[in-house]
Amino acid sequence: MAGRFEGRVAMVTGAGSGIGRATALALAREGARLLLFDRSAVGLAGTATQCPHAEAVTGDVTKAEDLEAAAAACAARFGPADLLVTAAGILGPALPPELLEEAEWNQLFDVNVKGTWLTIRAMLPQLREAGRSAIVTFASTAGLAGSATLPAYSASKGAVVMLTRSLALVHAAEGIRVNAVCPGSIETPMLEATFASAGDELAQAARQAAFRARHPMQRFGQADEVAETVLFLLSDAAAFITGVALPVDGGRLA
């Protein structure tokens, strides 16, 4: 499968860690040139050094001006992007919504929902210009089923699912496909943070065991396994697929 993305230009947000990084590295291995975007300069540098043709732009997906700068940097270095992956996201506190501060709720929706919209909006002129384009957004199994542990996060990822499906309809006729991946629990720094926030060691172990048990395969997923699904949805093998929210979850939602 080497070289599936030769000649293609991809922007990946959240490229400084976890699944975004794994997706960027997989695209680079298959020949894509990359605009890497993340709020963490250190994380971005760690990814960029492993990609032969990459431009790294540090910025915040909640800021339209940062995304416009990234879009301009991409076009200047590589020409218009025809692939977009919006992996930047946050988990927020694992609390019932009644205990959340308003600022915490706003931040969660700003990053996960508004950030996805702003990123797509900034890149749309390039995706349109390229003609044959694909977007993969990041929802979650928590965007398809409710979550007692992370209810506000679940609501934000549900919004990403419906944004994705709606944009698939809006852009289908112009050749821009829009799909979402819905990972189950994947071993990344984000998942580690969920466990760490459970409390003492016993509580952390209990949350870890409970999360693992939700997956019929009785294990957590790996970032590379989600990245492979993202590459499939971006690729011509998925040419007639748009508007899906695809679980990558070891059978959790089966």
Ligand X SMILES: NC(=O)c1ccc[n+]([C@@H]2O[C@H](COP(=O)([O-])OP(=O)(O)OC[C@H]3O[C@@H](n4cnc5c(N)ncnc54)[C@H](O)[C@@H]3O)[C@@H](O)[C@H]2O)c1
The residues carrying an active-site annotation are: 153
Rule CB under 6 A: say whether 108 interacts with ligand X: no
Per CB under 6 A, which region of 14-22, 166-174, 195-203, 235-243 contacts ligand X?
14-22
CB of 131 to ligand X, least distance (A): 28
Please say whether the beta carbons of 251 and 217 come within 8 A.
yes
Check binding of 19 to ligand X (CB under 6 A): yes
Q: Which residue from 12, 28, 67, 191 is in contact with ligand X, where contact means CB under 6 A?
A: 191
The verdict on 90 binding ligand X (CB under 6 A) reads yes
Identify the residue among 26, 57, 94, 111 touching ligand X (CB under 6 A). 111
DSSP-assigned states of every residue in 177-232: EEEEEEE-SBSSHHHHHHHHTT-SHHHHHHHHHHHHHTSTTSS-B-HHHHHHHHHH
Q: Provide the minimum distance between the beta carbon of 31 and ligand X in the complex, in angstroms, as a whole number.
A: 23
Tell whether residue 57 is a contact of ligand X (CB under 6 A): no
Matching residue, tokens 């997956």: 215
| Closest among 213, 177, 149, 186 to 82, alpha carbons compared | 177
246 binds ligand X (CB under 6 A): no
Does residue 84 bind ligand X (CB under 6 A)?
no
Among 25, 51, 74, 87, indicate the residue that binds ligand X (CB under 6 A). 87
What six digits make up the tokens of 61?
């997906």
CA 198/CA 4 separation, integer angstroms: 41
Burial class (CB within 10 angstroms; exposed 0-12, middle 13-18, buried 19+) of 170: exposed
Residue 158 within binding range of ligand X, rule CB under 6 A: no
User: Which residue is it, tokens 């984000």?
Assistant: 190
In the complex, minimum distance from the CB of residue 50 to ligand X, in angstroms, rounded to a whole number? 15
The answer to whether 4 and 231 have CB atoms below 8 angstroms apart is yes
Least distance CB 60 / ligand X (angstroms): 4
CA distance 73 to 220: 36
Shortest CB 253 distance to ligand X, Å = 12
Query: 119, 126, 133, 140: which one contacts ligand X (CB under 6 A)?
Result: 140
Binding mask 160-189 for ligand X (x = CB under 6 A): -----------------------x-xx-xx
Neighbour order of strands in the sheet with 33-38: 54-58, 33-38, 9-13, 83-86, 133-138, 176-183, 245-248
State in angstroms the smallest separation of the CB of 28 from ligand X: 17
DSSP 3-state assignment of 102? helix
* Binding residues vs ligand X (CB under 6 A): 14, 16-20, 38-40, 43, 60-62, 87-90, 111, 115, 138, 140, 183, 185-186, 188-191
